[in-house]
Amino acid sequence: MTSHTRKWKEAKLEEVKKLAKDYPVIAVATLDKLPANILSVLRKRLSKDSTIIVAKVRVLQKAFKESGVDLSKVEGQIKDSVLVIFTKKNPFELFSFVKKNKGSTAAKEGDIADIDILVQAGDTGLPPGPALSTLKAAGLKVKVAGPTIAISEDKVVAKKGEAIKKEVADVLGKLNIKPIKVGMKIVGVLDRNENMYYQADVLDVDEDELFNKFTLAYQQAQNLAVNAVIFEEGTTELIIVKAEREAKAIEKAIAPAITQ
């Protein structure tokens, strides 16, 4: 067993060293609460330009040190085994991709609801019996409809930001409702091309908000350029139209005086 472990570590060490040389961007992520099926999906979707490996921290530290890669800034944030993404993607592009590619899992007692969790009215498919008490314990209005139990009306069983109660988690499990979004959690990304290290909070950019800010900035700059009569590709036509409109307004204003 010891020999096998040693060989595995040596092989993993060489693998990490090679990947560290082949890819310019290295991301470190935690394995905490990451289901195997979600990891499998991410591996497949990132396979075109990225490689994902799981390894012990000590193996990674040794491999990176021998490869000249400094990941000391994340060492205090990772434990035991971690997941490393070697990629050619831009750090922000990678973080956004991972953030969007989440999966759904069953709720457990104490999980925090990301959204309002709604249980809709309708047939549950559950036979009458102990399930009646379970559904009622979660605050649902139920009735027996033939061979199964039906929920009489929609009910929000957990609001966004609330901890999910055991009774609610039990009901969601019975109804096969998986409201918890789970995914890979990136701790930080090293971009060796730019010699930059990015913490997760820096990479977590709201793309829609950023786009709106750029749009607003462009509109404001364009408005300033037009009023300052600065000719360039985006303002020339607008300046001419503005000048024509102002000339017509002046003409209209002085026309009565000229005719007198």
In SS3 terms, the chain reads as CHHHHHHHHHHHHHHHHHHHHHCCEEEEEECCCCCHHHHHHHHHHHCCCEEEEEEEHHHHHHHHHHHCCCCHHHHHHCCCEEEEEEECCCHHHHHHHHHHCCEEECCCCCCECCCCEEECCEECCCCCCHHHHHHHHCCCCEEEECCEEEECCCEEEECCCCECCHHHHHHHHHCCCCCEEECCEEEEEEECCCCEEEEHHHHCCCHHHHHHHHHHHHHHHHHHHHHCCCCCCCCHHHHHHHHHHHHHHHHHHHHHHHHC
pLDDT at 176: 93
pLDDT over threshold 50, residue 119: yes
Binned at pLDDT 50, 70 and 90, residue 68 comes out as: confident
Mean pLDDT of the chain: 86
Q: What is the pLDDT of residue 153?
A: 93
Residue 4 pLDDT greater than 60, yes or no: no
The structure tokens listed for 231 are 């000719």
Q: What is the pLDDT at residue 260?
A: 60
Statement: residue 11 has pLDDT above 90: no
In terms of Cα–Cα distance, which of 151, 135, 153 is closest to 143?
151
Say if residue 2's pLDDT is above 50: no
Label residue 208 by pLDDT band (50, 70, 90): confident
Average pLDDT of the residues in 247-251: 83
Tell me the per-residue pLDDT of 179-197, one tens digit each, with 9 for 90 and over: 988 888 898 899 988 888 8
Higher pLDDT among residues 34 and 110, named by residue? 110
pLDDT band at 163 (very low <50, low <70, confident <90, very high): very high
Q: What is the pTM of this model?
A: 0.66
Residue 148 has pLDDT above 70, yes or no: yes
Q: Work out the average pLDDT over 128-151.
A: 91
What is the rounded average pLDDT of the residues 131-146? 91
Delineate the domains of the chain, giving CATH numbers in brackets.
2-102+183-204 (3.30.70.1730), 117-181 (3.90.105.20), 211-259 (no CATH)
1 vs 220, residue with greater confidence: 220
Between 76 and 34, name the one with better pLDDT: 34
pLDDT at 80: 65
| Model pLDDT, residue 257 | 64
Confidence of residue 76 (pLDDT cuts 50, 70, 90): low
Residue 222 has what pLDDT?
A: 87
